[in-house]
Chains A and B, each alone.
Chain A
Amino acid sequence: MITLQNIEKVYRTSTIETLALNNINLDIRKGEFVSIMGPSGCGKSTLLNVMGLLDEPSKGTVQLDGQAVTQYRDKELARLRNQKIGFIFQSFHLINDLTVLDNVEIPLLYRSQNGRPRQDYAKDALTKVGLSNRMKHFPKQLSGGQKQRVAIARAIVGNPDIILADEPTGNLDSAMGNEIMNILQQLNDDGATIVMVTHDEQMAKRTHRLIRLFDGTQVL
């Protein structure tokens, strides 16, 4: 589903060059639930960004469903992100000025989907994460766990093949974290491929496969 070959990511400033990812080779298969672990600053989020086409690698190839996408232009990358990938972030990244329903509709805005079906899909997604009673609320009116559930609804509303989650339980207490993990597991059971960055060994144990990074290099 996602194949990374010889991926290298270098951050350069005028005085310093930092190697964030070094020779990463990975193959994420359809239906897998993979976790990525490693100490802070080891390149976990960078790896997830490269997989999710949010950041370009300095070297190497990214393949999605067998297609090399590294040379794709902005419009094509945007279409791939929109149709194939859903993101969940540690700090939720909801738009505070929009209601929960409007936030969940965002991926569908870029699919030329009409207003009424768009709302219906968003309502379905919110129902799946148990937030059908919070549609008209604004993010600031929700708890951390509720915000992350909104973020999950937004990630799944477009029915993507892949869900990339960057420390989805990182800002939540353990009870909330477990709740989110249960939802992710359910999504995986329903067929979604999930790659999750986490610091939590217990959460990682609940996934099919664990990848460990250290100083930008894959060690497991």
Chain B
Amino acid sequence: MLLNYIKIAWKVLLRHPFYTFITLFGISLTLTVLMVLTSFLDHLFGSHYPETRRDRSLYIMQMEQRDSSLTSRQSGPMSFKFLTDYAKSLETAERVTICTFVNSSNAYVGSQKIKLNTKFTDADFWHVTQFDFLEGKPYNEQNIANGDYVVVINDDLKKQYFGNTTESVVGKDIDIENIHYKVIGVVKGGPVTRPFTYSDVYFPYTAPKSNYQKSSMRGGYVAIILAKNKADLKTVQDEFQSHISRIPLPGIQEGFKYATLTVKAEPYVENFIGTILDGGPGLATIFFGIIGFVLFMLLGLPAINLVNINVSRIMERASEIGIRKAFGAPVRTLVWQFIVENIFITFIGGAIALVLTAVVIHLINASGWIAYADLTINVNVFLISLVVCLIFGLLSGVLPALRMSKLTIAEALKS
């Protein structure tokens, strides 16, 4: 039966090549956009270099303090001391790293200025993340304790600062903001879309200008907690919240009287969305409204267009519908036949889209539009694309099939 449906669908496609081209073009283009989007979301939220263990990591990005009337609030990253006291001390975690978010700085090669993204980290940073060291090694607890002026740089900065050399630059000096540092390691850079780990230069947190000694709660630091396994995430979160609940309330911090204090250790996606939705429920409505609108534009409009094409394509086959009904096909079976055919056509479009997506992804990766972009079509992207194809096929097939089912046999046979 299924083979019969697919045979027919294939013949119908071959019957009108131009019509087929328009249909497949529409489907492929829509699915390409969706697949590239899926790949981009996977790039943003998936476990990729150097955060390959995101699936068992929790991110602490900011604390929020509110006054008793909930009319004013302060929020932002935390101090090194705060995170040491409340996050580093977690017993259920495998490791915890404390680092700054992305800062900026300048270096000079001759008279040419190089704009740098910088990050201060502890030694655990190199264990929680999984950077590829192209040269040298990371700084360790000893370097930090000694207050060594050492840095880890990425391969892009090596090229900019030391030129196109294949020689190792480990042990060479680099001047940043007029301070001499010794390069201790060179890593393969990560994309800018992973701000917890992205940087051109990594300093030990004891390096100048890190402000790690700040004793107040707020500062410039964030943390990544690595759980022993995925199942432990909840336990680690609970322990962290129990630490936070020990902080006496209300309190005063830099002149601000706060009655509530919120700090969350969350998986990356929740952390990311939480940051966007931090503005309250109004912003959440707008955010999800925009997401819904974009999805409707991407999935709904092409589906409606395809519904129109399919209606005329199915009505063209009224005689076949009449024949099948006359020989005993119930309406439900015919509706199913047309849905199967439509899904089959959508999957052909999906296969074309997969090839187009591979090309687009390659172009994005090669364009340098996102530094170190590593968009891929992995199993997740592929499976999500399959589901999208299925939904798209159903959306655009059900309505024409129902319309067809209303045709009376005598009418259908006359056409």
Contact = CB atoms under 8 A, between A and B. Distances in A.
Interface stretch (B8-16, B93-101, B386-394): B8-16
B320 A95 contact: yes
A98 B7 contact: yes
A197 to B, nearest CB: 14
B190 to A, nearest CB: 54
B413 A93 contact: yes
Interface stretch (A62-70, A102-110, A188-196, A207-215): A102-110
Interface in B1-60: 1, 3-4, 7-8, 11-12, 15
A187 B261 CA distance: 90
A116 interface: no
B45 to A, nearest CB: 45
B229 to A, nearest CB: 49
Interface string A97-129: 110001001110111000100000000000000
The DSSP consensus for interface residues of chain A is helix
B355 interface: no
A79 B323 CA distance: 14
B252 to A, nearest CB: 76
A213 B408 CA distance: 24
Interface residues of B, number: 26
B332 A97 contact: no
Contacts of B323: 93-95, 106
A81 B331 CA distance: 13
B409 A107 contact: no
Contact of B328 (A55, A93, A105, A107): A107
Interface string A63-91: 00000000000110011011100010100
Query: Which of A105, A109, A111 has the most chain B CB within a 10 Å cutoff?
Result: A109
Bin chain A's interface residue count. Answer: 20 to 34
A54 interface: yes
Contacts of B319: 93
Contact of B329 (A49, A98, A105, A110): A110
B325 interface: yes
Contacts, number: 74
Nearest to B11: A97
Contacts of A44: none
A162 to B, nearest CB: 13
Contact of A75 (B330, B408, B409): B330
Contacts of B4: 98, 102, 105, 109
B11 A52 contact: no
A80 B12 CA distance: 29
Nearest to A75: B330
Contacts of B328: 78-79, 81-83, 107, 110-111, 158
B413 A78 contact: no
Contact of B327 (A46, A75, A82, A98): A82
A154 interface: yes
Contacts of A94: 323
Interface in A117-150: none
A87 B323 CA distance: 9
B409 A110 contact: no
A183 B30 CA distance: 54
Given A78-B329, A87-B327, A106-B324, A49 B7 contact: no
Contacts of A98: 4, 7-8, 11
Query: Which of B320, B327, B330 has the most chain A CB within a 10 Å cutoff?
Result: B327
B245 interface: no
A122 to B, nearest CB: 12
B54 to A, nearest CB: 49
A165 to B, nearest CB: 13
Contacts of A154: 327
Contacts of B305: none
A97 B16 CA distance: 12
A58 B330 CA distance: 22
A54 B409 contact: yes
A107 B327 CA distance: 5
Contacts of B138: none
B104 interface: no
B327 A54 contact: no
B410 interface: yes
Interface in B148-176: none
B8 A110 contact: no
B325 A78 contact: yes
Nearest to B328: A82
Nearest to A95: B320
Nearest to A73: B330
Interface of B: 1, 3-4, 7-8, 11-12, 15, 319-320, 322-333, 408-410, 413
11 contacts: A54-B326, A78-B328, A81-B327, A93-B319, A95-B320, A97-B7, A97-B12, A98-B4, A98-B7, A106-B324, A115-B3
Pick the 7 closest A-B CB pairs, nearest first.
A82-B328, A97-B11, A78-B330, A110-B328, A107-B327, A54-B409, A55-B410
Given A78-B328, A102-B7, A110-B324, 13 more contacts: A54-B325, A54-B409, A55-B409, A78-B329, A79-B328, A81-B328, A93-B323, A97-B7, A97-B8, A106-B324, A109-B329, A111-B328, A115-B3
